[in-house]
């Protein structure tokens, strides 16, 4: 079934007209230039679990090599957190010290080491201390309750845990539920914790990392396909599943992100610039693959400076951007909207911002225009999932302005295809079906869950559960999650199509469509919206707005108003199951 946008041209709707000479090169030409023999993005075929896959020839072999790349940046600042400033050299010294301590505690190749804490300087220390000795790092969702954290520790078979005080207080009385957990290190604890040791007793405080003795990492041979991480899926329904990632998965993202940036430059006909180190504000949790795999890995490889915050606050973000001359930030659309809408924005110098990128959730096309208009910055987004260790497609700059309802084309080492519901037939361009993805970023499967693995991973492809279409040039358009599609009297309603029309209304900044039970039709569409500060719109006005742009059966039968932005999980996805309470 083909799907058309709610507007004839969203690009013209947001007021962007492509320059006369753009694009200077086609997608195929850009790919050929970037991946030519001898170039940084050269590719090679590798057999992975019996399937031949294109890979980045020049990607690091493992995360141990990534750590050594980071060490090479010496006294350049790596992490800024409140009044703490940690250099690459200091971070690496702490990684080495903690890796040897893990080794001494019996942690070896394949053992699971869990991480449960806010974004703090200790996070990348513990992560790399684990993966550089061949252990499997398990980043747990810091928003989880004690029961959920205990589930992650037990399900993963974690042997050693590094956590902060808040997480330990949730876990401590559930220690018996984690029979394999032998050692717990707690950081930034205000007092001694029974059953746990202070991480500072091993590596000290972050401000003292640079004074730690420098030695080599424990000697361990790590292959690209060795296990590296277990990231748990969002868990919007049922128990989360652990996606088992490899060193190759995470190292792939380093070049995938760089490829997307280079692609945008070639599209406008410019020469590739020399690498330039930048400062970025990281505001999404490192336990999510977007921040860890697509963000942290590439930033370390490039020697960039990262700023962590205790919790997200727009005004504090403005202060940091002005003080540190932040060039890049983002995460999920909600954060971008708050940066744009907050009345305090005008009181700060935010001219250093070059790019605001996001993923994890659909974004209103209007957001693309406002980022360019208000900040003079380049918007960017992409598509990926926990099962692809983040980046599969990328979309930025003029390409994003030209196709604001797309998540971009796949990177050169990835393939996409649109499949029929039963998975037996590939659909042509323009048709909506289930999105399947393949490439060196696709994880091995689900930890200790062969049934779910067999259902989701097929001959190197991951069945994403997303409904999407590809255009003739290969740009991908996500229509909806298959499970979120509303079926009204046999007619399919793709939530994102209605949501995009609602987003186009000048008063709407957040919107979600859900299905309400109906005795005869099965379901009827209903929407929950959040209005911009100072703006007004009635239910009838918004229903008429949609009715003027979409078929009648797609018009929400009811529209409820939320005083705040809609509830999302840690990955930025709207928790639609919570929206039924509005009705």
Nearest to 244 by CA among 234, 236, 233: 233
Q: What residue numbers bound the domain in which 148 lies? A: 63-222
Same domain, 119 and 132: yes
Which pTM does this prediction carry? 0.87
Same domain, 40 and 68: no
Same domain, 250 and 131: no
Output the six-digit token pair for 281: 């504000």
Same domain, 451 and 357: yes
For residues 554 and 304, what is the distance between their CA atoms, to the nearest angstrom? 46
Give the distance, in angstroms, between the CA of residue 424 and the centroid of all CA atoms in the same chain: 30
Q: What is the DSSP letter of 177?
A: G
Can you give the pLDDT at residue 10?
55
Can you give the pLDDT at residue 1?
41
Same domain, 468 and 565: no
Can you give the pLDDT at residue 3?
39
Q: What is the DSSP letter of 175?
A: G
Could you read off the pLDDT tens digit of each residue along the chain, which spans 583 residues? 443 343 334 566 567 788 888 999 999 999 999 999 999 999 999 999 999 999 999 999 999 999 999 999 999 999 999 999 999 999 999 999 999 999 999 999 999 999 999 999 999 999 999 999 999 999 998 888 888 899 999 999 999 999 999 999 999 999 999 999 999 999 999 877 888 999 999 999 999 999 999 999 999 999 999 999 999 986 444 578 999 999 999 999 999 999 999 999 999 999 999 989 999 999 989 999 999 999 999 999 999 999 999 988 999 999 999 999 999 998 777 788 888 888 999 999 999 999 988 775 556 677 888 888 888 888 888 999 999 999 999 988 899 988 988 999 999 999 999 999 899 999 999 999 999 999 999 999 999 999 999 999 999 999 999 999 999 999 999 887 766 778 887 677 888 889 988 999 999 999 999 999 886 677 899 999 999 989 999 999 999 999 988 878 889 999 999 999 999 887 777 888 899 899 9
Rg (CA), the chain: 23
* 441-475 CB burial, b ≥16 within 10 A, e <16: bbbbbbbebeeebeebbeebbbbbebbbbbeeeeb
Instruction: Decide if 508 is inside a domain.
Output: yes
Can you give the pLDDT at residue 519?
67
Output the six-digit token pair for 334: 């909600």
Instruction: Decide if 234 is inside a domain.
Output: no
- Say if CB 101 and CB 126 are below 8 A apart: no
Total number of domains in the chain = 3
Can you give the pLDDT at residue 372?
83
For residues 78 and 127, what is the distance between their CA atoms, to the nearest angstrom? 15
Which CATH number fits the domain that encloses residue 544? 3.30.300.30
Same domain, 382 and 425: yes
Name beta bridge partners: 85: 80
Residue with tokens 């008429």: 544
Instruction: Decide if 2 is inside a domain.
Output: no
Residue 167 parent element (H or E): helix 165-171
Output the six-digit token pair for 146: 């004690």
For residues 483 and 461, what is the distance between their CA atoms, to the nearest angstrom? 20
Same domain, 302 and 406: yes
Instruction: Decide if 20 is inside a domain.
Output: yes
Contacts of 53 by beta carbon, 8 Å cutoff, 6+ apart: 45, 46, 47, 413, 438, 439, 440, 460
Instruction: Decide if 3 is inside a domain.
Output: no
For residues 525 and 538, what is the distance between their CA atoms, to the nearest angstrom? 17
Instruction: Decide if 414 is inside a domain.
Output: yes
- Say if CB 134 and CB 110 are below 8 A apart: yes
556 HSE (CA, 13 A, CB side): 29
Same domain, 378 and 460: yes
Which CATH number fits the domain that encloses residue 215? 3.40.50.980
Output the six-digit token pair for 7: 């507007």
Q: Where does a domain end: 222, 255, 271?
A: 222
Same domain, 346 and 399: yes
15: left (phi over 0), alpha (psi -120 to 50) or beta: left
Instruction: Decide if 231 is inside a domain.
Output: no
Same domain, 331 and 279: yes
Residue with tokens 């703006």: 535
Nearest to 159 by CA among 187, 136, 128, 129: 136
Same domain, 430 and 377: yes
Instruction: Decide if 1 is inside a domain.
Output: no
Can you give the pLDDT at residue 4?
38
Which CATH number fits the domain that encloses residue 256? 3.40.50.12780
Q: Where does a domain end: 425, 455, 481?
A: 481
Same domain, 140 and 73: yes
Q: Where does a domain end: 448, 481, 514?
A: 481
């Amino acid at each position: 079934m083909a799907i058309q946008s709610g507007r004839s041209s969203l690009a013209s709707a947001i007021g962007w007209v492509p320059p006369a000479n753009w694009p200077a090169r086609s997608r195929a030409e850009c790919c050929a230039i970037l991946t030519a023999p001898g170039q940084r993005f050269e590719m090679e075929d590798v057999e992975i679990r019996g399937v031949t896959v294109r890979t980045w020839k020049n990607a690091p072999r493992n995360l141990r090599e990534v750590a050594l790349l980071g060490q090479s940046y010496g006294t350049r600042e790596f992490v800024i957190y409140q009044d703490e400033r940690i250099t690459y050299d200091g971070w690496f010294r702490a990684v080495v010290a903690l890796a040897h301590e893990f080794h001494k505690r019996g942690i070896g190749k394949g053992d699971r080491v869990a991480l449960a804490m806010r974004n703090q300087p200790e996070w990348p220390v513990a992560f790399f201390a684990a993966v550089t000795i061949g252990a499997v790092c398990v980043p747990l969702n810091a928003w989880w309750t004690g029961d959920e954290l205990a589930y992650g520790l037990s399900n993963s078979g974690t042997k050693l845990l590094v956590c902060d005080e808040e997480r330990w207080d949730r876990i401590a009385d559930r220690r018996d539920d984690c029979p394999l957990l032998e050692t717990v290190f707690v950081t930034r604890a205000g007092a001694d914790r029974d059953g746990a040791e202070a991480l500072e007793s091993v590596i000290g405080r972050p401000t003292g990392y640079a004074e730690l003795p420098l030695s080599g990492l424990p000697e361990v041979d790590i292959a690209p396909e060795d296990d590296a991480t277990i990231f748990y899926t969002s868990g919007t329904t049922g128990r989360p599943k652990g996606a088992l990632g490899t060193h190759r998965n995470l190292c792939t993202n380093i070049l995938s992100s760089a490829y997307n940036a280079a692609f945008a430059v070639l599209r406008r006909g410019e020469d590739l610039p020399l690498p330039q180190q930048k400062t970025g504000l990281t505001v999404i949790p490192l336990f999510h693959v977007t921040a860890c795999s697509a963000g942290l890995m590439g930033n370390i490889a490039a020697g960039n400076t990262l700023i962590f915050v205790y919790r997200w606050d727009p005004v504090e973000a403005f202060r940091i951007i002005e003080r540190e001359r932040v060039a890049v930030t983002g995460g999920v659309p909600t954060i971008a909207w708050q940066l744009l809408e907050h009345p305090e924005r005008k009181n700060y110098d935010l001219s250093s911002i070059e790019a605001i990128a996001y993923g994890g959730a659909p974004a209103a096309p209007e957001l693309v225009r406002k980022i360019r208009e208000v900040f003079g910055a380049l918007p960017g987004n992409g598509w990926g999932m926990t099962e692809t260790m983040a980046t599969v497609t990328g979309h930025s700059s003029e390409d994003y302005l030209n196709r604001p309802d797309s998540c971009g084309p796949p990177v050169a080492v990835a393939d996409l295809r649109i499949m029929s519901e039963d998975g037996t037939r590939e659909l042509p361009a323009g048709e909506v079906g289930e999105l399947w993805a393949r490439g060196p970023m696709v994880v091995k499967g689900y930890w200790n869950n062969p049934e779910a693995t067999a259902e989701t991973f097929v001959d190197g492809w991951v069945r994403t559960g997303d409904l999407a279409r590809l255009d003739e040039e290969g740009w991908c358009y996500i229509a909806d999650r298959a499970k979120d599609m509303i079926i009204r009297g046999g007619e399919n309603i793709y939530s994102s199509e209605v949501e995009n029309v609602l987003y186009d209304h000048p008063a709407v900044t957040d919107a979600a469509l859900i299905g309400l039970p109906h005795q005869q039709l099965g379901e009827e569409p209903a929407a929950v919206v959040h209005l911009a500060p100072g703006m007004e719109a009635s239910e009838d006005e918004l229903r008429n707005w949609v009715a003027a742009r979409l078929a009648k059966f797609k018009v929400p039968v009811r529209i409820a108003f939320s005083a705040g932005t809609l509830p999302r999980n840690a990955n930025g996805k709207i928790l639609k199951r919570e929206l039924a309470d509005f009705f």
